Amino acid sequence: MSLFVQSLVAQIDVESIVWHLQRLAIVAAIVAVTWITAKIVGGFISRALGLVSPKMALQVRRITSFMIWLIGIIATLDQLGLDTALLLMIIAMVGLIAVTAYRDILPSMASYDLITTYDLFKIGDWIEVEEHFGRVVNITWMNTVLLTRDNEMIYLPNSKIISSSLVNRTVQGGIRVSVPLTLDRSLKLPEVERVLLEVGAEMGEALVPDFKPDVRLTYVDERSVKVELLLRIRNPAREAFIASEVRKRALNKLKEAEGSIG
């Protein structure tokens, strides 16, 4: 019996066992470090992005944790002596697919940084981007949300805003509005000016404080005269409404004045 035990002991490769135990210890250490790293980085991402966009923070945290675990798995397989070429190929394909899938998302995230860094606009501003115009009600990593004059919500990708012509209509002192009118040449210019200034004064609540309307003559011929009533209003969203209201009131008052003279 003792001879049999001695034979078994002789067949045991002690160095091989120690080597494998060392590899297992390293693998365990790699797994532990990977887990701790994923937790720390995930917590940092949640704190950094959670206040801006909880949903985006969750998505970025998942992607980051996935990448960290991939690195940990590759290191683990390498320690076990396994071929990692196939795994690296799979990771490269997954990365390519991810970049393709997020090709529209990544530029918007980068554009968000540009918008906030250079303070192009803020919540409450009225902005115009190509054919879209509205008040900014939210700015996320992906989109800038506008509320239009018709109370419609428009979601503009941040990348589109950066690559397009942007006009911030919210400025100190309001915005200038020019209301053009084409009138009959028979009307007396002093009377036209009086009526237009009177109409402009009636828009007092919409005007910038201490602003006085002004009238300009832009064109005269044998049949017609073109004038402009210049106003400065506080709310850019009311530009079209105020211009329409000025035209209606001015035409009505001019008809009344013409009738009283006649």
Q: How confident is the model at residue 154 (pLDDT cuts 50, 70, 90)?
A: very high
Share of the chain above pLDDT 90, in %: 4
**Which H or E run includes 238?**
none
pLDDT at 156: 92
Compute the average pLDDT of residues 94-112: 70
How far apart, in Å, are the Cα atoms of 109 and each of 55, 65, 127, 157? 13, 19, 20, 9
Burial 6-15 (b: 16+ CB within 10 A, else e): eeeeeeeeee
- Give the contacts of 177 (CB within 8 A, at least 6 positions apart): 230, 231, 232, 233, 239, 242, 243
170 compared with 163, residue with greater pLDDT: 163
pLDDT at 155: 92
pTM above 0.95, yes or no: no
Highest mean pLDDT among 15-19, 63-67, 68-72, 161-165: 161-165
pLDDT at 146: 92
Share of the chain above pLDDT 70, in %: 79
Compute the average pLDDT of residues 173-198: 84
Greatest C-alpha distance within the chain:
139
Compute the average pLDDT of residues 179-202: 87
pLDDT for 208 beyond 90: no
Report helix, strand or coil for 139. strand
Instruction: Give per-residue pLDDT as tens, 25-57.
Output: 888 888 888 888 888 888 887 777 666 667 667
Token pair in block for residue 64: 């980051």
Compute the average pLDDT of residues 178-202: 87
Q: How confident is the model at residue 8 (pLDDT cuts 50, 70, 90)?
A: very low
Sign of CA dihedral 185, 187, 189, 194: negative
